[in-house]
Each structure stands twice: as C-alpha cells, then as structure tokens.
A and B are shown apart, each in its own frame.
Chain A
Amino acid sequence: MNTKKDKTASVDWGSILRQASVPIMFIIICAICIPISGLSANMLVNEIVTRMGRNSFLILSLLIPIMAGMGLNFGMTLGAMAAEIALILVSDWQIVGIPGMVLAVIVSIPISILLGIFCGKILNEAKGREMITSYIMSFFVNGIYQLVVLYLMGSIIPIKHTSIKLPRGYGIRNTVSLLGMRQKLDNLLAINIAGVKIPVLTFIIIGLLCLFIVWFRRTKLGQDMRAVGQDMEVARDAGINVERTRIISIVMSTVLAGIGMVIYLQNMGNIATYSAHSQIGMFCIAALLVGGASVDRASIGNVFLGVILFHTMFIVAPRAGAYITGDSMIGEYFRVFVSYAVITVALIMYETNKRRMRSAAGQQLAAAQEAEEASAKGGEQA
C-alpha cells in the first residue's frame, strides 16, 4: 500500500517535470552558452528586449486557435504574407512612418480575413488533423503569394517605383527596403535605461493585445471557443455553431499575425520578399513551445518566457558555437536544428500524454480491484 502511494506521488512530480522539461532544458542551454559567448550583459539584454518587441505580437496570435482546440496554427504564415503584400504596396505608395504602418495594417486586414476564412473552412474539413493541414496550407498559399508578387505585381497590380520592381518590368525585387518605416514604432516614446533601449510604444501595443486576449477569454465567443476546443460534439449539442466558431478563431489568428508581421518588419527595416514569412511560423511556434506551452494549452506567460529563452539561445548559440569550434555556421545550424527538435518533442509529448491518460484509466481499474480484494480479505478475517 505504502509503495503505491509513493508511486502516485512520484508520478505527480514526474508529470510536472515532464511539462516543464522543455523550458528547463533551455534554461540549462542558455546558462551554459551565455558565459561562453562572451557577450556583455548590457548587449545581451538589449538584444533580448529588441527581439521581445519584434516577436511577441506574432507569437500571441497563436493563442486563440490553441484555445479553440485547433492546435498550433502553422497557418499564421498566411497573415504574414498578407502583411508583406500590404507593406510592399504601402512602400510603393511612399507612405512612411507611423501612418504607413497603420495603412499597411488596414490593407492587410481584409487579405488576412479572406485567407483566414479559406484556411478555416479547409481546417473544418480536416478536424483532428489541423496542424499538418495548416502546415501544408502555408506552402500552398506561399505558391499563390509568389504568383502575386512575382507576376501580378507590376503587370496587373500597379507598382511604380523601380527600386521595388524587378528590372524586367514586373515582379518584386528580392528585398524591399522599409527605410521610411524602420523602427519608427520602436523609436517613438523609446526610453533608454542603463544603455538598454526599450521600445515603450511597441510594448504598450503588445500589452494591449494581452489585455484583449484576457478580456476575450471572458466573452461569450471566448467561452464558446473553449467549449469547442474541449469537446466539439458537446458544444454542438448545446447549440454552439462549431464550424463558425472555429473559422472565427483562425481568422482572428491570421489577422493578428498580419499585424504582428508589420511590427516585426518595421523593426527589421526591410522585407526579404520571398523568404521573410517562410520560417516565421516555425520560429514563433518553437518559441511558444519553449515557453512551456503544449498543443492544447498555452498562456500569455508561455509567450514571454518562450520569447526570452528561445531568443537568448538564438543570440548566444552562434557565438558560443564560433568560440568553441571556430566556425560560426555551427551555431546557425544549431538554432534551426533546435527549433525543429523542440516542435517534434512537443508533438511527441502531446501524443504520449494522451496515451498515458488512457492507460491511467486501466491502472485505476486494477488498483480498485486490488483494494476491493484487500478489503474482502480483511472482512473475512474479522
């Protein structure tokens, strides 16, 4: 009896450890790499703060589909592409600074909504396989994006400026400069504390999104999403329009990802037209998972912990790698490798947890049977 109690207690610890295993692993990696990299604390903090401002909004856009039980939305890339199209147009119109950003957001929203509805409808046909479907969808829509950017822009969609257009007369160059917008948001209201630049306005916007998400959880729609996420059949029986709710969650995620991408690109200062979006989904998801989120559970805290840990590793790993091996490529390789590894580990953990839950029911039965026999024996003796 005693041993069994100990076992259950240790299982509890085990499950806590399992859930926190990814963040713990990253804390260890960072703790080892930071001293080796030889970066000063000031520089490191500066880099991390910059990247928090750059990435947090994008990662926050992943929370809503997780709430609706649709897993990690690899389809957030769709929003990123919408933002890129909007930014290319706005920079061709030569609207700069904050007004340019606002206009880009406004232009991106209808594109995001359309793509989101399209994605949501397809995901409704693939219930239970949302992640792989949205992942493949992002490749498919990437093809459409390239068609638009490479052939339609300049030929059908008017593009005036030759600095954006390819020399052949249509199609967009490999990089589009956003010099007029570069860090305009970050620098407005920026303050400097001990040599660390803090983009206050960006953080305020991120903070507002966090508040919105907290508030949204308390709305009827948020409640419906949580219900749909946990049990579609029960939600449907209660009269909730499951399909529509799921589509709305994907649309919201896509729109937020679009806004996040505008913030991201204003910080970068240029658009890599054909590759800026290609890994954004991967890195955002990896960061969220590093923060301790899982396929069916993620919080705002996971987002910020994830941004800090994942990007600390991003900053220090190449330098540490260069210091150890003399080759900076090793660190570059390492961080891409790690992002894929983190996602794989998270997906495996999700499946094993599900299986564990199932066999736990069996173990309970066996235990109940044993207890019953023990009590029966006790009864006989008495």
Chain B
Amino acid sequence: MSEQKAPLLQMRNIKKDFFGNQVLTDINLELEAGQVLGLVGENGAGKSTLMKILFGATDITATGGYGGDILLDGEKVSFSSPFDAIAAGIGMVHQEFSLIPGFEAEENIVLNREPKKKNLLSEIFGERLDTLDRKAMDETAVKAIEKMGVNIDRHMVISSMPVGHKQFTEIARELSKDQLRLLILDEPTAVLTEREAEALLDSIRGMSARGISVIFITHRLQEILSVCDTVAVMRDGVLVEKVPAKQTSVQEITHWMVGRNVDGGKKAAAVQQTVNDNAKTALKIEKLWVDMPGETVRNVSLEVKEGEILGIGGLAGQGKLGIPNGIMGLYEAGGRVEFEGQEIPLNSPRKCLDSSFAFVSEDRRGVGLLLDESLEWNVAFPAMQIQNKFLKSYLGGLIKWRDDDAIRSVTEKYIDELKIKCTGSKQNARELSGGNQQKICLAKAFALEPRVLFVSEPTRGIDVGAKALVLDALKKFNRENGVTVVMVSSELEELRSTCDRIAIVSGGRISGILPASSSVEDFGELMLNNVI
C-alpha cells in the first residue's frame, strides 16, 4: 500500500548549528509507516539534537532553528513547539521521566487529556471545573496498556514504582494518544531489567504491526538488531551508515560508531607510556558509591599510580562524572579513598583540598568560576582560602593582608603560559569565551599546586585549538611537576592521546582498564558492556 504513497517521515538535508558550531550536517532519513528505525551513535554524535528537531523542541527554535525540511506524508511541516508535533502524531519518550510522582500510573497516562463530565458549576465557570470521568480514564488507560502489551498496575503510584514501570507508564501515555503515528524512544531500555527490555522489544514489534513507526535510540546494539528494520549510525553530526538491520552485525556497527581516524589515535598513544608499571600507588579507591543524579557510581575500586594520567571514559550517564565529584565531596558518597596510605574522608570538600587534591569541575560556570570577579581573584582565591598563599602576615599572623602583587604576577604567568585571551588580569571571568574560561579553571587548580588533580570534561564545548592547548597544558603540568592526574572525558580520542591508562565506566561500574594504546574497538566494547 505504501508504494504510491509518500513515506510517513522524510527528513531532507537537516542541518543545525549552535552559534556557528556545526552539530548536524545534511541528514537524510526516510521512514515508512510501521517501520522501526534504530538510531545509534556515540554521545555528541547528534542523535538527540536530530530528535529534538523532529519533536519541535523549544531549545531548537530558540537557537535559530534548523536547516532542511521535514516532511510528514509528503507534506512539509514545521513545529514551533512539542505540542504541534504531538498534534501531528509524533510522540516522544524522553530519557528523563516526565511523570507526576504522586499520581497513579493511570492519572499520568491521561495527564491533561482526562475524559471529563459536565456539571452545574462547570456550565457557569468554564470547563476546568468539569469533574474527571474516572471510568473513562480507566478505560483509556486499560486500552493503552493493552496496546503496549506489557502489564503494569495502573493504580500504582509512580513514586513507589520500580524504575522500569515508570518507563512503561511513559510509553503507555504516548500510546493512549489516538493520533500517534510515530514514536521516538530515547534510550528506553537504559533503565530496564533484561526481562523488561525483552517485553519492550515485543511491544515495539506490536506497535510496528499496528502501523506505528518507531525511532529507537539505544546503546544496546543487540536490541537494535533484533527489533529494527533499518539501522542508522551517526558520528560527529553526520549520518555515516544506513543499512537494513539484517545485513549488519554488532561489530560492524561498533566500528562505524567509534571508528574515526584510528591511525591518528595510535600514533598519539605511542608517545605515551612514560610511567612504568612499578610506580607506587598514589590514590586508592575502594568500594566507592556516589549518589550523583544521572551519574550514579556503584562499587568502584581503582588504583591510580603516582605521576600518571589516568583517563576515565564511558558513555554519558554511566557514572564517569560521579567519580571525581564523589571523591571531592560535591555529592554524597561512601566507600574508602586513600592517598599515600592516608584515608581521605568523603563528603568533605575542604578535607580533600587540604590533602592537596584539586578539582576542575565539568560545570565551569556553576562550580568552577566566580563569574563576576576578576581573573586575578579567580586564579588566586582557592589558594588564598585554603593554603594561605598570596597573603602577607603582620603582627605575627594576627592580621593578614592580600598580597596583590603576588596575585597579579601569578595570574599573568598563567595568562602567558596558557595563552588566555583577555584584556588583562583585571577582566571579569564572565567576559571570556568558553575555552578561555576553561583555561582559567585550570590555572586556578594549578595555583593550588596539588598532588592529585581531577579534571572533568576539560574540553567540553571549546573549539579545537583551545582543546589542544588545554590538553597540552595538562600534560605539561603532569610531566614537569609529577602531579598525578585523573581526567574524565566523554571523548575517547582525547583520552587516548593524553592518558597513560584509561578506565571505562559503564553502568556505574568500572568495566575495564586498558592502556591508552589499545584499539578503539576494544574501548567501544567496554563502553557498551553492562550499559544501564
């Protein structure tokens, strides 16, 4: 029947840039009614941006819209908000739950689309005073749950549900919309147990049989192969491959996902290996758990050798950010951390800093910088606060004055060394570009002269030139001062070119530690191991 008809969804030459930073380039996709499309790619490959464009997300329109056309049934559409997309029959299940915690599943399924009954007061005061038709609500919910094919208790309150059932409630909500023709599932199996994931795959097959098209985003490649008609692989904002699922394999897809300039990576890695295997252990982490929302860490044990750069990699949301944040006391953590045989108390940032740890946070505008203070202050403040540096003492330490000269000279030294583009050491941190702000964060940590430096996503959101500079500065700091560095990054290439060893975190646990010279495929495999 679909031979003559235009396909349900066509995306033509979709382009998107965020302030000149190209994130999507000429994406072309087609989807027939009832087809299941698997969309895979590393973090930052552009999957979510593409789906946001399709779903009319407001942060797309707010950042200048997108290029190219989206066609539904051969007709061009342009959604200014998700509500338009929903009206056109597109549904999306997000990674974060969008559920009211104190409501029953049923109430959430029909949220703001409740069947209503008229009454006297609503005739006078308008339809918002209509009473809810509980019986009709029940029917709608039962029908949607039936359609989904996975049984959940529709009267259970969301907050007491296991996480998988919350996911199913969301899916049931989308299915309860009569106009639904295309369902986008953004990593729905991430929170499901194996059996629940199986049930979901069956449910997807059911939807497809009913003529509902599904775009299925997941990191579990086996699922893609078992349920999808077509697999589309994205990398760096480009659609690199689009093949029928029957004609490919997990190895092939992994290769497409991560396989970029494999040679370059090897060359960079070959320079490494400056720390010999007999170096003593500087930092010992045992049974660490961290309750960082979205980055939960479970039972991590790690040893960091003196003077090495240890990389921590993995997919977003798997817990790699939780490790430094937990050790430095920014999120509640438990377990045992030892530095040179001394136990470092957890949940106390001050104690960590006192034992000469330093942390460059991934949240540089929130945690990293005093945005409305001068660069001098930003660089010197922690050192002044924690180590009494840059202070002149009078009256035997009774009165301490800031040593402004020392502060200026150290700031200027780092501005020079890190090539920070600014009008001078008195400029406010807010006025700098992202890359230069990141360099200030590093300078701040360097000024503390730490023994162990944690760096979290040091190159996130900065351009290529600045990236190289930041990484070089880190390496230089490590080499020249013998500082142990733990670097967390979602960019594998960056880790491979900077670190000695790389630990891959997956599902909140360490799934393996490999020397940086190992092949990209090996890392890719570890990343996708026990993904949650």
Query: Closest residue of chain B to A231, judged by CB?
Result: B100
Q: Contact: B100 with A230, CB < 8 Å?
A: yes
Q: From DSSP, what is the main secondary structure of chain B's interface residues?
A: mixed
Q: Contact: B102 with A226, CB < 8 Å?
A: yes
- Whether A215 sits at the interface, judged by CB under 8 Å, is yes
Q: A237-B98, A238-B112 are in contact. Are A223 and B132 (CB under 8 A)?
A: yes
Min Cβ gap A73→B in Å is 20
Give the number of residue pairs across the A-B interface with Cβ within 8 Å: 79
The one of A215, A220, A373 in contact with B128, judged by C-beta atoms closer than 8 angstroms, is A220
Interface size class for chain B?
20 to 34
Question: Interface size of A by Cβ–Cβ distance < 8 Å?
Answer: 28
Q: A227-B111, A231-B100, A237-B98 are in contact. Are A369 and B289 (CB under 8 A)?
A: yes
**Cα(A283)–Cα(B289), bound, Å:** 46
Min Cβ gap A9→B in Å is 18
- Whether A366 sits at the interface, judged by CB under 8 Å, is yes
Q: Contact: B299 with A227, CB < 8 Å?
A: no
User: Which residues of A245-283 have CB atoms within 8 Å of chain B's CB atoms?
Assistant: none
Q: From DSSP, what is the main secondary structure of chain A's interface residues?
A: helix
Task: Give the residues in chain A near B130, CB-CB below 8 Å.
Answer: 219-220
Task: Give the residues in chain B near A220, CB-CB below 8 Å.
Answer: 114, 116, 127-132
- Whether B424 sits at the interface, judged by CB under 8 Å, is no
Q: Contact: B107 with A362, CB < 8 Å?
A: no
The one of B100, B114, B289, B333 in contact with A235, judged by C-beta atoms closer than 8 angstroms, is B100
The one of B103, B114, B290, B333 in contact with A230, judged by C-beta atoms closer than 8 angstroms, is B103
User: Which residues of B267-304 have CB atoms within 8 Å of chain A's CB atoms?
Assistant: 287, 289-291, 296, 298-299
Q: Contact: A234 with B100, CB < 8 Å?
A: yes
Task: Give the residues in chain B near A231, CB-CB below 8 Å.
Answer: 99-101
- Whether A41 sits at the interface, judged by CB under 8 Å, is no
Q: Contact: A365 with B102, CB < 8 Å?
A: no
- Whether A224 sits at the interface, judged by CB under 8 Å, is yes
The one of A215, A223, A234, A358 in contact with B98, judged by C-beta atoms closer than 8 angstroms, is A234
**Cα(A227)–Cα(B101), bound, Å:** 9
Q: A218-B131, A221-B128, A221-B129 are in contact. Are A369 and B114 (CB under 8 A)?
A: no
- Whether B146 sits at the interface, judged by CB under 8 Å, is no
User: Which residues of A281-328 have CB atoms within 8 Å of chain B's CB atoms?
Assistant: none
The one of A226, A233, A237 in contact with B103, judged by C-beta atoms closer than 8 angstroms, is A226
Query: Closest residue of chain A to B97, judged by CB?
Result: A234
Task: Give the residues in chain B near A237, CB-CB below 8 Å.
Answer: 82, 98
Q: Contact: B332 with A362, CB < 8 Å?
A: yes
Query: Closest residue of chain B to A248, judged by CB?
Result: B128
- Whether A28 sits at the interface, judged by CB under 8 Å, is no
Q: A215-B131, A219-B132 are in contact. Are A365 and B101 (CB under 8 A)?
A: no
The one of B99, B131, B289 in contact with A366, judged by C-beta atoms closer than 8 angstroms, is B289
User: What residues make up the interface of B, taking CB atoms closer than 8 Å to A?
Assistant: 82-83, 98-103, 107, 111-112, 114, 116, 122, 127-132, 287, 289-291, 296, 298-299, 332-334
User: What residues make up the interface of A, taking CB atoms closer than 8 Å to B?
Assistant: 215, 218-221, 223-224, 226-227, 230-231, 233-235, 237-240, 358-359, 361-362, 365-366, 368-369, 372-373
Contacts A230-B103, A358-B332 supplied; 19 other A-B pairs, CB < 8 Å: A219-B129, A220-B116, A221-B129, A227-B112, A231-B101, A233-B98, A234-B99, A234-B100, A235-B100, A237-B82, A238-B98, A238-B112, A361-B291, A362-B332, A365-B291, A365-B296, A366-B334, A369-B287, A373-B299
